[in-house]
Amino acid sequence: MKTNFFAVLLSLASLAANAQFKAGSKLITGDVSFGNSSNKVEDKTNNITTVTNGPKQSDFGISAAGGYFLNDKLAIGLGIGFAVSTSEEQLDPNTTSETRSNVFSISPFVRYYIPYNEKFAFFGDFSLGVGFGNYVDKLNVGNLTTEQKSSSNILLTGITPGFNYMVHKNIGLEIRYGFLGYSSLSLKVDGSNPGNYTKVSTTTFGLDFGLNTLNFGIVVFL
């Protein structure tokens, strides 16, 4: 989740106005992320037009977190999440492939708030997340379907910037977008015979501005 993270110098008055940001108070937040993509390929040769459906993908995620303020800017907490992704591709007129994944994650975090005034505040999350996923790949050829299962372990650590807008004394709307950090994915694909498998490990470090990093949520301060 990456938005332009503005560095703002704040007065003591604006800090005092945000009574919800104080030592000993708590926060509860939840958010939803989603995305859909599809494409179509059209080929015209000798006045004959052929249209093929490209990959279609749908993503949905939901998460919740709770935190505790150590002072008027810094909070620590724990988040959990669940994500579902499905994709489908037409390989030829008689063949399609389908993939479905489910991922559960848990993520301790540290959040630092920079209030701007009574209603607006910027924040940055530093988190260390672990996730566990299950995947099913299907290949449909005519009336024949073959299926392959796989599983994954995911490690994700980095910084996520965000923005909070207070709609009530104790209720805020937040937007998080972008991610800067490190990720590691270990994917285990089951073989055709029991006990056989293929394992692939991938590590990445960088900046991600993809729409899949855009999240909207509601936060309650107690």
Domain boundaries, the chain: 29-89+99-134+152-180+207-221
Q: What pLDDT is attached to residue 110?
A: 93
- Rounded to two decimals, the pTM is 0.66
Residues 6+ apart with CB under 8 A from 3: 161, 162, 163, 175, 176, 177, 178
Spell out where the chain has E strands: 26-37, 40-45, 48-53, 56-69, 74-92, 95-115, 120-141, 144-168, 171-176, 179-190, 197-208, 215-221
What is the rounded CA–CA span in Å between residue 112 and residue 76?
9
Residues of the chain falling short of pLDDT 50: 1-19
Q: Which fold has domain 29-89+99-134+152-180+207-221?
A: Porin (2.40.160)
